[in-house]
C-alpha cells in the first residue's frame, strides 16, 4: 500500500525556494527513540494499533538497492507509543490498525520531531475505514481463509469421484487442505484471493506439485470450494474483524531486517545453541534459503547481511527446479521458469553447536556412502541402518559452516535429513527426523574421511511391539518430520500423516520405538520438549496445541491408540472454517496453519521458562502459551503482510540486560517471497518489554 509522506512537503518547499528554518521542523532531544500518540477524527486516541518506523539509511547499500530496517510497536490504552533503540537514520513513521486506513507516513529522525519548537512527541493522525471491505484489507490471511466453506459432513467418506475415496471425514479434508496447500502458501492473502474458479484452474496448473495435490482431494470438490470462496469475496463478503492487540500483546517490540531477494524461500534460522541460549550472544543469525541454496548471515549489531552459497556433495546428482517450480503442468504457465536453477542442496534446517559452528540439513541424490550397510544390517551400536532421504527416504547429508574460516564441509550420511537437533549432553550426537544421528565429536572438518563416520552413526529400528508381549513384531513407516531430544537421551518425533498422524518415541539406550495417536485433532508437525521432559506438538491439520506426557501412560505398547490419558489439547486462537460440523465440542476447524513449534526452556524469549511458541504461519503471528496459566498471547507481525513463518529460535544476548537482552528470532517465508506485501523476506526479532512505553 502506498502512503504519502511529509517528506514531500519539505521537498516542495525547497523547490519553491521557501526558507524552512531547521528549528521550525525539528525539536532536538538527545535520545534514540521516537514517542508520541496516535489519534483519529476528533482527537480520539487509538489503542492497540501498530506504529511502524522504516528506514533505508540503517542497512548498508550493497549495490542491489538499500534494504529496509523496520521497528514496530503497539499503542497503549491512551494511544501513546514509544519506538525504542532506533539506529541513526531518517525514518518514515506511520500507523496500521484494524478498523483504520493505513496512515500517511511522517518523515523524522530519532530525537528530532517535525513539530513546534520544544515539542518532544510525534502525534500521528489516522482515519477510520469507511467500509468493511476497506478495513479488511489488512486482516491476516487466516481470517479471509476462514470464509472457505467446507464440503458438508454428509458427503463423507468420499465417493472416489467428487471427493477422493481416501478421505473419510470432513476434518480429514480440512486437515489435508492445510497440510498440503498451506504447506507452501499462505492462502487468504491478496495474491491468493483469486477472482473466480477459472483462475483457480489456471493456478493449480502452474506446478505439478499443486496439480497433484488438487487431485488428491477430488479435483472438483477443491475447485468448487475455492470457486465459491472467490465468488463470495468478489460480491463483498468479508471476515469478522480480528481483535486488536492488548495486554501482553501490546508490550512487544518487533525489529525487522530486510534480506535476500524476490525469489528466496527463507525457511529456518538459528540464533544460538538450543542447549545454551547464551552462546553466540549478539552474534550472527543464520538463515537458509531453501529454494536457492544460500546461507544468509545477518549481523544484527552492524545491521548488515551477506549470503554464502551452500554446496552439494561432489558425487551428488544435480537437479533443476525447486519443488517443481518453473516446470508447469503441460498446458499450464508459470513465471518462474529458469529462476530456481540453484536448488540442488536445498538447505532446510539449521542448528548451532557448542563451538559456534552451523549445521544444515541438505540433500544428497543418486549417491550412497560406501560405509552404509544394507538396510537391515546392524551397526556396532545395535541401531539398525536403513534407507533415509530428503525427508526420510534415501541417503542425505549435513553441511557444516565454520564462521571462523568461512569454509563449508558436506558430510554424506546413510539416512535422510530434513530437521535436526543436537542431543542434550556431551555426546555430540546430531539427530535428524529420520531418527538417524552422527557423532560430531568424531568428525574432523579438516580431514572429513568417510571411514571415520562408519563407526559414528546410527538410526532407529522402526519396529513396534503391537501386542504387549515385549517383542517387536510390526514394522512401522520409516522417516518422520519433526523431532526433538529429551534430557535422558530419548527422541520424540512426528508423523503428520497418514491421517490423523502420530508422534513417536525412541530410546536409543533400550532400542524401544513407540507411536501415539492424538485422541482427536490431526497433523502433528513440529515437536519440542520442555525442561520437565514433556513433549509439545502443533497439530497443523486441526489447529490444536497438544501436550503429551509419556509418564502418565498406563500402556506404552500398541499401534497408537494407547495412552489417551497422556494427551492434553488446546484450541489455538483464531477463526474457524465455515460449515464445520464437529462431532464433539473440543474438535477444531481452525483456518490457522500451525507450521512448527519451539519451547523456551531457559526463558531466552523473556516470556518465561518453558513458554511454548507456535508458528501461526497462516495468520501472521506467533502464538505463545504460558504453561502455568494455559493462556495464549498472540503476537502479530502486521507489516509486511504474509508473515509466513516456519520456525523460531531465541537467545540471550545479555542476561542482565532486562527485556533488551532477550528475544525470539523468526523469519518471513513462502515458496516465493514475491508473494509478500513488500516482495522481500525479513528476519524478525520479537521482544517483550514490561509495558508499551518502556525504552
Give residue 671's pLDDT.
Answer: 76
pLDDT at residue 458 greater than cutoff 70:
yes
Please tell me whether residues 122 and 146 are part of one structural domain: no
| CA–CA separation, 493 and 484 (whole Å) | 6
**CA 257 to chain CA mean position, Å:** 16
Please tell me whether residues 24 and 116 are part of one structural domain: yes
Give residue 405's pLDDT.
Answer: 94
Give residue 453's pLDDT.
Answer: 74
Please tell me whether residues 72 and 147 are part of one structural domain: no
Give residue 261's pLDDT.
Answer: 86
Residue 665 lies in a domain: no
Give residue 592's pLDDT.
Answer: 93
- 218 within 8 A of 168, measured Cβ to Cβ: no
Angle at 528 between CA 522 and CA 530, to 5 degrees: 125
Q: Give the E-state strand segments of 524-620 in sequence order.
A: 524-529, 535-539, 544-548, 567-571, 594-600, 611-616
| CA–CA separation, 588 and 171 (whole Å) | 8
Count of domains in the chain? 2
Q: pLDDT > 70: what percent of the chain?
A: 88
Residue 28 lies in a domain: yes
Angle at 104 between CA 98 and CA 108, to 5 degrees: 120
- 654 within 8 A of 618, measured Cβ to Cβ: no
122 versus 27: the higher-pLDDT residue is 122
Burial pattern 506-535, b for ≥16 Cβ within 10 A else e, equals bebeeebbbbbbbbbbbbbbbbbbbeeebb
Mean pLDDT of 366-385: 57
User: Cα dihedral sign for 342, 345, 351, 357?
Assistant: negative
Mean pLDDT of 43-65: 89
Mean pLDDT of 338-349: 82
Residue span of the structural domain in which 176 resides: 139-234
Q: 315: pLDDT confidence band, cut at 50, 70 and 90?
A: confident
**CA 690 to chain CA mean position, Å:** 26
Give residue 25's pLDDT.
Answer: 37
Residue 272 lies in a domain: no
- Please state at what angle helix 219-234 crosses helix 208-217, rounded to 10 degrees: 100
pLDDT at residue 510 greater than cutoff 80:
yes
Give residue 420's pLDDT.
Answer: 95
Query: CA–CA distance from 545 to each of 91, 245, 529 (Å)?
Result: 39, 21, 13
Give residue 281's pLDDT.
Answer: 97
Cell triple for 368? 550412497
Q: 459: pLDDT confidence band, cut at 50, 70 and 90?
A: confident
Mean pLDDT of 468-490: 90
Among 644, 595, 323, 395, residue whose Cα is nearest residue 482: 595
In 3-state terms, what secondary structure has residue 599? strand
| Residue 366: burial class (beta carbons within 10 Å; 0-12, 13-18, 19+) | exposed
Give residue 383's pLDDT.
Answer: 37
Q: Select from 73, 95, 128 the last residue of a domain.
A: 128
Q: 323: pLDDT confidence band, cut at 50, 70 and 90?
A: low
Mean pLDDT of 680-687: 95
Residue 24 lies in a domain: yes
Please tell me whether residues 123 and 158 are part of one structural domain: no
Please tell me whether residues 150 and 185 are part of one structural domain: yes
Give residue 649's pLDDT.
Answer: 96
Range with the largest mean pLDDT of 342-356, 508-522, 673-687: 508-522
Q: Which helix (H) or strand (E) holds 215?
A: helix 208-217
Range with the largest mean pLDDT of 13-27, 198-212, 224-238, 330-344: 224-238
pLDDT at residue 449 greater than cutoff 70:
no
| CA–CA separation, 567 and 129 (whole Å) | 44
pLDDT at residue 119 greater than cutoff 90:
no
Please tell me whether residues 95 and 120 are part of one structural domain: yes
Grid cell 489519534 is found at 39
Q: 673: pLDDT confidence band, cut at 50, 70 and 90?
A: confident
Mean pLDDT of 392-405: 83
pLDDT at residue 155 greater than cutoff 70:
yes
Residue 277 lies in a domain: no
pLDDT at residue 417 greater than cutoff 70:
yes
355 versus 22: the higher-pLDDT residue is 355
Work out the mean pLDDT of the chain and round it to a whole number: 88
Q: Select from 234, 259, 285 the last residue of a domain.
A: 234
Residue 197 lies in a domain: yes
pLDDT in tens, 197-251: 999 999 999 888 889 999 999 999 999 999 999 999 999 999 999 999 999 999 9
Please tell me whether residues 14 and 111 are part of one structural domain: yes
pLDDT in tens, 564-613: 999 999 999 999 999 999 988 899 999 999 999 999 999 999 999 999 99
Of 38-52, 207-221, 438-452, 492-506, the poorest mean pLDDT is in 438-452
Neighbours of 319 (CB within 10 A): 15
Mean pLDDT of 278-287: 97
Residue 423 lies in a domain: no
Please tell me whether residues 49 and 95 are part of one structural domain: yes
Give residue 18's pLDDT.
Answer: 34
Q: Select from 234, 259, 280 the last residue of a domain.
A: 234
Mean pLDDT of 461-466: 92
Query: CA–CA distance from 400 to each of 83, 359, 683 (Å)?
Result: 38, 5, 22
| CA–CA separation, 504 and 562 (whole Å) | 12
Please tell me whether residues 11 and 86 are part of one structural domain: yes
| CA–CA separation, 672 and 359 (whole Å) | 24
pLDDT at residue 7 greater than cutoff 60:
no
Mean pLDDT of 312-337: 77
pLDDT at residue 13 greater than cutoff 80:
no
Q: Give the E-state strand segments of 440-534 in sequence order.
A: 457-459, 463-464, 474-475, 483-485, 491-495, 502-507, 512-516, 524-529
Q: 327: pLDDT confidence band, cut at 50, 70 and 90?
A: confident
pLDDT in tens, 642-658: 999 999 999 999 999 99
Mean pLDDT of 682-690: 97
11 versus 291: the higher-pLDDT residue is 291
Q: pLDDT > 90: what percent of the chain?
A: 69
Give residue 217's pLDDT.
Answer: 94
| CA–CA separation, 420 and 360 (whole Å) | 8
CATH number of residue 39's parent domain: 2.60.40.1120
Please tell me whether residues 114 and 146 are part of one structural domain: no
Please tell me whether residues 53 and 116 are part of one structural domain: yes
Residue 105 lies in a domain: yes
pTM for the model stands at 0.92
Of 487-496, 514-523, 673-682, the poorest mean pLDDT is in 673-682
Please tell me whether residues 18 and 120 are part of one structural domain: yes
Give residue 17's pLDDT.
Answer: 37
Query: CA–CA distance from 550 to each of 132, 515, 553 (Å)?
Result: 48, 11, 5
Give residue 598's pLDDT.
Answer: 96
Amino acid at each position: 500500500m502506498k502512503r504519502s509522506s511529509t517528506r514531500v512537503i519539505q521537498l516542495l518547499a525547497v523547490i519553491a525556494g521557501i526558507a524552512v528554518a531547521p528549528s521550525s521542523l525539528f525539536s532536538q532531544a538527545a535520545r534514540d527513540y521516537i514517542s508520541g500518540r496516535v489519534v483519529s477524527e476528533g482527537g480520539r486516541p487509538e489503542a492497540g494499533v501498530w506504529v511502524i518506523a522504516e528506514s533505508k539509511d540503517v542497512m548498508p547499500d550493497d549495490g542491489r538497492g538499500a534494504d529496509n530496517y523496520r521497528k514496530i510497536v503497539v499503542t497503549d490504552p491512551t494511544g501513546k507509543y514509544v519506538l525504542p533503540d532506533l539506529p541513526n537514520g531518517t525514518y518514515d513513521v506511520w500507523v496500521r490498525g484494524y478498523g483504520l486506513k493505513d496512515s500517511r507516513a511522517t518523515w523524522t529522525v530519532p530525537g528530532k520531531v517535525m513539530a513546534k519548537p520544544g515539542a518532544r512527541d510525534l502525534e500521528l493522525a489516522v482515519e477510520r475505514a469507511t467500509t468493511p471491505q476497506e478495513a479488511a484489507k489488512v486482516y491476516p490471511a487466516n481470517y479471509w481463509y476462514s470464509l472457505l466453506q467446507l464440503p458438508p459432513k454428509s458427503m463423507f467418506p468420499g465417493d472416489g469421484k467428487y471427493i477422493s475415496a481416501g478421505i473419510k471425514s470432513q476434518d480429514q479434508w480440512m486437515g489435508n487442505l492445510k497440510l498440503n496447500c498451506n504447506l507452501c502458501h499462505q492462502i487468504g492473502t491478496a495474491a491468493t484471493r483469486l477472482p473466480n474458479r477459472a483462475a483457480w484452474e489456471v493456478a493449480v496448473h502452474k506446478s505439478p506439485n499443486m496439480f497433484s495435490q488438487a487431485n488428491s482431494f477430488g479435483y472438483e470438490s477443491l475447485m468448487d470450494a475455492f470457486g465459491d470462496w472467490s465468488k463470495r469475496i468478489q460480491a463483498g463478503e468479508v471476515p469478522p474483524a480480528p481483535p486488536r492487540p492488548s495486554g501482553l500483546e501490546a508490550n512487544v517490540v518487533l525489529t525487522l531486517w530486510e534480506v535476500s531477494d524476490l525469489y528466496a524461500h527463507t525457511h529456518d534460522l538459528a540464533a544460538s545453541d538450543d542447549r545454551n541460549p547464551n552462546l553466540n550472544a549478539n552474534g550472527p543469525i543464520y538463515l537458509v534459503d531453501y529454494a536457492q541454496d544460500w546461507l544468509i548471515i545477518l549481523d544484527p549489531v552492524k545491521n548488515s547481511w551477506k549470503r554464502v552459497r551452500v554446496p552439494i556433495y561432489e558425487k551428488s546428482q544435480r537437479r533443476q527446479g525447486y519443488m517443481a517450480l518453473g516446470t508447469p503442468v503441460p498446458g499450464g504457465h508459470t513465471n518462474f521458469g529458469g529462476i530456481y536453477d540453484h536448488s540442488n542442496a536445498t538447505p532446510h534446517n539449521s542448528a548451532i553447536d557448542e563451538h559456534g559452528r552451523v549445521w544444515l540439513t541438505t540433500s544428497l541424490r543418486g549417491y550412497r556412502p560406501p560405509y552404509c550397510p544394507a538396510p537391515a544390517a546392524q551397526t556396532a551400536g545395535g541401531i539398525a541402518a536403513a534407507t533415509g532421504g530428503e525427508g526420510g527416504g534415501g541417503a542425505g547429508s549435513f553441511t557444516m559452516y565454520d564462521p571462523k574460516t568461512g569454509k563449508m564441509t558436506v558430510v554424506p550420511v546413510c539416512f535422510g535429513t530434513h530437521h535436526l537437533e543436537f542431543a542434550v549432553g556431551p555426546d555430540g550426537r546430531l539427530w535428524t527426523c529420520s531418527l538417524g544421528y552422527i557423532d560430531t565429536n568424531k568428525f574432523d572438518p579438516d580431514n572429513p574421511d568417510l571411514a571415520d563416520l562408519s563407526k559414528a552413526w546410527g538410526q532407529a529400528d522402526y519396529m513396534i511391539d503391537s501386542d504387549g508381549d515385549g517383542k517387536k513384531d510390526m514394522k512401522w513407516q520409516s522417516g518422520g518430520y519433526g523431532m526433538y531430544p529429551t534430557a535422558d537421551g530419548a527422541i520424540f518425533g512426528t508423523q503428520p500423516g497418514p491421517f490423523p498422524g502420530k508422534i513417536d518415541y525412541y530410546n536409543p539406550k533400550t532400542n524401544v520405538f513407540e507411536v501415539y495417536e492424538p485422541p482427536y485433532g490431526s497433523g502433528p508437525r513440529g515437536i519440542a520438549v520442555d525442561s520437565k521432559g514433556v513433549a509439545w506438538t502443533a497439530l497443523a491439520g486441526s489447529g490444536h496445541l497438544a501436550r503429551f506426557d509419556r509418564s502418565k501412560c498406563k500402556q506404552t505398547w500398541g499401534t497408537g491408540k494407547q495412552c489417551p490419558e497422556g494427551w492434553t489439547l488446546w484450541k489455538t486462537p483464531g477463526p474457524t472454517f465455515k460449515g464445520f460440523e464437529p462431532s464433539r465440542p473440543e474438535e477444531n476447524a481452525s483456518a490457522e496453519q500451525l507450521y512448527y513449534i519451539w519451547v523456551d526452556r531457559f526463558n531466552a524469549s523473556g516470556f518465561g521458562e518453558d513458554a511454548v511458541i507456535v508458528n501461526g504461519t497462516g495468520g501472521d503471528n506467533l502464538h505463545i502459551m504460558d504453561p502455568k496459566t494455559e493462556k495464549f498471547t498472540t503476537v502479530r507481525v502486521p507489516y509486511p503482510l504474509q508473515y509466513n513463518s516456519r520456525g523460531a529460535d531465541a537467545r540471550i544476548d545479555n542476561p542482565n540486560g532486562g527485556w533488551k537482552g532477550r528475544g525470539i528470532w523468526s523469519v518471513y517465508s513462502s515458496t516465493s517471497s514475491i508473494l509478500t506485501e513488500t516482495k522481500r523476506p525479513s528476519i524478525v526479532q520479537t521482544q517483550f518489554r514490561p509495558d508499551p512505553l518502556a525504552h
